A and B are shown apart, each in its own frame.
Chain A
């Protein structure tokens, strides 16, 4: 009973982190692909997507098996450190966006900017290299973050299959929704999703750095849920404090 509960705790956080991270990255990639497809035609957009997916697959094939051979203690320490940094970067941005100190990621605006950039490049002669490169870069760069997330989380938890399946489900779901509505997914609550991913990545990062340093967590894997709660609380407190400061600064200016 205890074993099944602890395994489920780790898996829940793993699935949540991978699903949300992949969904957010897919929304961002889809915005660029739609801009390319609608402006310059779908052929170059699809060629860019296929080429990017091929390069990403080659990277997974090259680094995935290599990671499995790294001793688990070292792997968890390194991956934990990477996830701590990566997660704190996501959380920092999400806190700044929640408090209005950084512009929110606006898919509508990014779509329009990409369309304007593509139109400014002029009409293609022969193959549309501009469209191909734009679609390739969009899918490759966002996909690279998906690959890093899935490989690091999956290998360290010894659940690469679960992480890869979750990522695939997230990518397919967002692609289907995007194709059905046939436009960029601007109504997705990206900042809330990024904040959740940040909390989960920092939690996993803390947990694995601890495991790598032979820290004995009380409750084993269940401690992950405690860390998620702790970081959620800290993030909420940071947002609340900054909002109060913003309000008092605004009052000071208007008075």
Chain B
């Protein structure tokens, strides 16, 4: 019985670890940036603004997030 619950805990832990590595890993800034992007676009699209604002904001924020993350990695790589 104890062995069975140990296996379940290990499986759940492994599953959680997989998603943590998959989504956060060594780029937590991309995870946070995506949540912020979703929040901003949600606010824009529900705030009575023109739909075009959300259409433009979404890809612009994604490009900005990627640029910030790449710049951070470049800075770290050049320090080494």
Task: Known contacts A96-B73, A238-B66; decide if A84 and B55 are in contact (CB<8 Å).
Answer: no
Check B34 against A84 for contact (C-beta < 8 Å): yes
Main secondary structure of the interface of B (DSSP, over half): helix
- A206-231 CB mask vs B (1 if < 8 Å, else 0) is 10011001111110000000010011
Q: Which of B22, B55, B62 contacts A88 (CB 8 A)?
A: B62
Interface residues of A (CB under 8 A from B): 77, 81-82, 84-86, 88-89, 91-92, 95-96, 99, 101-102, 144, 148, 202, 205-206, 209-210, 213-218, 227, 230-231, 234-235, 238, 242, 245, 249
Closest to A235 in B: B66
Give the contact-size bracket for chain B.
Answer: 20 to 34
Q: Which of B25, B59, B70 contacts A238 (CB 8 A)?
A: B70
| 21 CB < 8 A contacts A-B | A84-B62, A85-B31, A88-B27, A88-B34, A92-B27, A92-B70, A96-B70, A99-B74, A209-B37, A209-B41, A209-B58, A213-B45, A215-B51, A215-B54, A215-B55, A218-B52, A231-B62, A231-B63, A234-B63, A238-B66, A238-B70
A residues less than 8 Å from B69 (CB atoms): 88, 92
Check A86 against B22 for contact (C-beta < 8 Å): yes
Closest to B42 in A: A213
